[in-house]
Amino acid sequence: MVRDAAFVLNIKLHYLPPYSPNLNPIERLWKVMNEKSRNNVYFKSKRDFKEAIDQFFTVTLPEIAGSLTSRLNDNFQVLNSASSS
């Protein structure tokens, strides 16, 4: 059904490996969050950690959202299958 609907809507499907975090936009967002809030930081308590993550999503992310378009997108290179010789 999905293939048929994609054909009718002129959508080309790209099949991804079952585990492909580099192609998943949410994984890229987690990486940005880690860079901005967590990397090389020691949190004395769970509360401090939670506050840093909350700060990222409520303050930092809205401030940097415009600059993330190049990192958080679904543009990826499509490679053709290697032909067997």
User: What torsion do the CA atoms of 4, 10, 12, 13 make, to the nearest 10 degrees?
Assistant: -30
Q: What is the pLDDT of residue 78?
A: 67
Kindly state the greatest CA–CA separation across the chain.
Answer: 59
State the Cα–Cα distance between residues 21 and 76, nearest whole angstrom: 12
pLDDT along the chain (85 residues), means of 10: 94 81 80 92 96 96 85 68 63
3-state class of 8 per DSSP?
helix
45 CB contacts (<8 Å, ≥6 apart)?
A: none
State the Cα–Cα distance between residues 47 and 20, nearest whole angstrom: 32
